[in-house]
Structure 1
């Protein structure tokens, strides 16, 4: 699988650019931007970065046509595992919060947004958007705007730049996508378990409370409740860690 590369100085959202590319009949593409003016996350949330300019953050999207019948369950988790393994191969500092967030030392480092668009000939366009904070917030920045905290890759790798980080991630993500198309999420189940931020903790998924017990072979969160083990799919659900009393 070969991706064309495109870099923009500024755009509204790399996901929007990637979706338009697929609608116009384009093939596999990796599009990045130095600055997004309308970045977005799951559930319609804005993706916030307090700083402008190169190397404050890395924002990019991968667009590719895939068979419409392919089960995309767990894709965001496989992406998260791949990103974490590239950036933190020792596996000590980056954790994953189901279904789409990356945390560094307990604060949010970045997120993943997957969107799809129908295509002709039994195909479906898939766009994987990834945003990572690179530079720490400056002194005096409004940290209350970041409900899950703000972590920066440069605290893990002081030399990290947007271009260098993207060059590290691109081949690993390309290989992951080729494997996912034939194998699904199952090969990444153990990798996710090693980095599971919520594993064994009391959480709330939508309106349902319980204890997180890892994920299934399809990437469903396994929620232990009084009624038994409940599998929860990503979709429009989000997970909140419940603070101890």
Structure 2
């Protein structure tokens, strides 16, 4: 599996462009953009990006029957291992966020579209903050804080970071296609931001006890252990404002 790489100076959303590419019969693609004017995150949240962040999407056709459970967690593990190989500073918050030193560094958005011949087009959108916020920025807009990759790697640029991530993600997707999430369960547990903490997921609260072999959140509630799939749920640490 070889990805064609394409870079745009500006687009609405790399995920939107990548989904259209797959609908038109295109093959594996890694699409980056210097600026997004209509980017989006989970739960329909809109956001824009510029050269202060790295934004890109990986697109590929996969068998329709392939279980994508846990894919966002496996992608997060792969990204974190490249950027923080010592495993000391980047943590993962279920189901799709990367945190650096306790503040949000980036996020992952996975979307899919049905294709002919029993295939499904899968697009993985990734956004990573590169630069710190300017002094005049309204920090109240960042409920989970704002972390920049240059705090970890002062020389980090969008191109250099993408060059490091691309081969790792290509290998991850080849492995996930045959192995599913299971092999990444332990890797996620080592970076699990919420492990052992009281959290809220939708209307439920409990102690986060890691994830299953399918990437589902294990939530220890007063009524017993609940298994929560990612879907459209959002996890907030009870200690967060």
TM-score, normalised relative to structure 2? 0.98
> What does the per-residue CA deviation read over 1:159-204, in whole Å, with 9 as the maximum and x for residues that have no partner?
0000000000000000000000000000000000000000000001
**Which residue pairs with 1:232 in the alignment?**
228
- Report matched runs for 1:151-170 at 5 Å: 151-170=147-166
Equivalent-residue separation in structure 1 for 2:54 and 2:239 (angstroms):
31
Equivalent-residue separation in structure 2 for 1:143 and 1:157 (angstroms):
22
- The total of aligned residue pairs comes to 240
Equivalent-residue separation in structure 1 for 2:111 and 2:223 (angstroms):
33
* Cα deviation, residue 243, structure 1: 2.1
Equivalent-residue separation in structure 2 for 1:37 and 1:148 (angstroms):
22
- Report matched runs for 1:102-181 at 5 Å: 102-181=98-177
- Report matched runs for 1:1-245 at 5 Å: 1-49=1-49, 52=50, 54=51, 56-243=52-239
* Structure 1, unpaired ranges of 5+: none
CA-atom RMSD in angstroms: 0.9
TM-score, normalised relative to structure 1? 0.96
Equivalent-residue separation in structure 1 for 2:179 and 2:108 (angstroms):
21
Equivalent-residue separation in structure 1 for 2:8 and 2:202 (angstroms):
37
> What does the per-residue CA deviation read over 1:147-170, in whole Å, with 9 as the maximum and x for residues that have no partner?
111000000000000000000000
SS in 2 for 1:224: strand
* Cα deviation, residue 226, structure 1: 1.3
* Cα deviation, residue 240, structure 1: 0.7
> What does the per-residue CA deviation read over 1:24-78, in whole Å, with 9 as the maximum and x for residues that have no partner?
01000000000001111000012355xx4x3x11000000000000000000000
Equivalent-residue separation in structure 2 for 1:92 and 1:35 (angstroms):
30
Query: Higher strand fraction: Structure 1 or Structure 2?
Result: 2
SS in 2 for 1:27: coil
* Structure 2, unpaired ranges of 5+: none
Instruction: Write out the 4+ residue segments of structure 1 that deviate beyond 6 Å after TM superposition.
Output: none
